[in-house]
Amino acid sequence: MPQFDDTELTAAVIRSFEETPDPRVKFLMEELVKSLHDFVRKTDLTFDEWGAAIDFLTRTGQKCSSTRQEFILLSDVLGVSMLVDAVNHRDRDGATETTVLGPFYVGEHKPTAHGADISADLPGERMFVQGRVTDLKGKPLAGVPVDVWHADDDGFYDSQKPSYETQGSSSRARFITDADGRFFFRTILPCSYPIPTDGPVGEMILQVRRHPMRPAHVHFLVDAPGYEPLITHVFIEGDKYLDSDVVFGVKNDLIARVEKRTDPVMPDGKPAAAPWHLMRYDFRMKPGKGTAPKPMMAATEDA
Ligand code: BEZ
Ligand code: FE
């Protein structure tokens, strides 16, 4: 009957993976166990602390449903999501920077006409958004789907509201770039908002005296054949949370000056009823492949 001291135990667990057929799985399991065991040794983890961690993870799982993914939120607030993003996008070669997908992407939509107001029924300051999708040399990419989604004037996504099931989506759409790689639409100015704090991740954030806020942004997912899918946000310059995003998702190149305008017409020549804002951003795509992500909720069912 083998007996192990705390270092030999790590070696024994690693040996237990020897027969793993997939070398990548074997490597990941070995490294995971090394890191977990190191953590326990370095911290002299007590039984109470270990129990609290198990309880926390159990409650994190129990909070997941068909509309909520508390484990991804945990990954986000611990900076793991942005680290995975960073190690997978080390060389951008001038392509637009990437950031987290977030939990509020609900998947594809039928294409919407350019110029449409995707927040027509919502209160808020009006905003005109125009963008262009090109390759790294500036050649326009036509016929490319661009998914956009953002929070409303109260800081909620449509999918967080009870009305979502009956009234459908708002502040989200898919546009297809025109022959010059361009797309444009109307919406409202999004505001900064808190991540959901009514679960174990929120408890943790408050326990360590962090705020739960994300700076105002619009999400974009650009998926051009022959190019890496681009998952990004455009942040609004001046937002007070740009330096302390709770999910560490801000990159300087993704901050746009959103100008306040009083011109009586918007860039597509149609009248503006009140002062409005203009967001302009161009997206440079990196050649490559990859599959656009599926919505985070797709694999999860209500308990
Ligand atoms: C979001 O941008 O929608 C988001 C990202 C990470 C965690 C929570 C929300
Ligand atoms: Fe968001």
CA of 168 to the centre of ligand 2 (A): 18
Comparing CA positions, the residue from 303, 259, 11, 293 lying closest to residue 129 is 259
- Closest to 73 measured CA to CA, from 296, 298, 299: 296
Give the model confidence (pLDDT) of 27-65 as tens digits. 999 999 999 999 999 999 999 999 999 999 999 999 998
CATH number of 70-284: 2.60.130.10
Q: Is 261 helix (H, G, I), strand (E, B) or coil?
A: strand
Is 190 near ligand 1, meaning CB less than 6 Å away? no
* pLDDT value at residue 108: 74
Task: Confirm if 93 and 136 have CB atoms less than 8 A apart.
Answer: yes
- Compute the average pLDDT of residues 210-224: 97
* pLDDT score of 116 more than 50: yes
**Nearest CA owner, ligand 1 atom 7:** 102
Residue 107 has what pLDDT? 80
Mutate to test the pocket of ligand 1, among 60, 104, 156 (most ligand atoms within 8 A of CB): 104
Ligand 1: residue whose CA is nearest its atom 1: 102
Residue with more model confidence, 181 or 68: 181
Taking the domains of the chain in order of start, what are their residue ranges?
Answer: 8-45, 70-284
